[in-house]
Amino acid sequence: MCCNECPFHPTLGSAVERCPNPVCTVSGHVCSDGYCARTVRERCFQDTFVITRLYQEHPLAVRLAEYTFETACLRRDRALLLSLLHAATPELRRRLWDRLHEFEPRILWMLNPVFAAAGLSPVPSLQGLGPREHLYREALIGNPYVGRFLFPPDREPPQPWSNGRSRAAIAAC
């Protein structure tokens, strides 16, 4: 996404949080409307926001997730792509899988860790999968290594400061 269109732009943005280093203005490029694939290839504040807030299903993070997906695909950034898929809901993972078909079918190799965790063999691209494609799609959407960690309603996720104890156990001390 062009920095001039980004909701985190320091002066033009509409979000509460602001980007400290907009790439487009710093580099001096004149950007056109929309996504600037030639000028914005590095991870930016928006990508960090999406990854950290997607776990909470923040509406802006959900809306911007496809831009982070494009950044990961353009940069061939496996870590960013896997982080995005880990934070995404199953519905968003389904949409991103569909985007693989239209955007970049040859980047499936970046998802090989997910497929290996599901017991599937690594693949270089969507081409040639044929009838096995649904197995890879389901591995991406339903794999616990990609998805969220689900906790029972009576138990909250462990926090780094609690040493594995729940908030109720800490309060009882």
Residue type, 108: L
Q: What is the DSSP string of 35-101?
A: --TTT--S--HHHHHHHHHHTTT-HHHHHHHHHHHHHHHHHT-HHHHHHHHHHS-HHHHHHHHHHHH
pLDDT attached to residue 127:
78
Cβ neighbors of 45 (< 8 A, separation 6 or more) are 8, 17, 19, 20, 21
Q: What is the pLDDT of residues 77-105, one digit of tens each?
A: 888 999 999 899 889 999 999 988 777 78
Average pLDDT taken over every residue of the chain: 75
- Is the pLDDT reported for residue 159 higher than 70? no
pLDDT attached to residue 106:
83
- Is the pLDDT reported for residue 62 higher than 90? yes
pLDDT band at 32 (very low <50, low <70, confident <90, very high): low
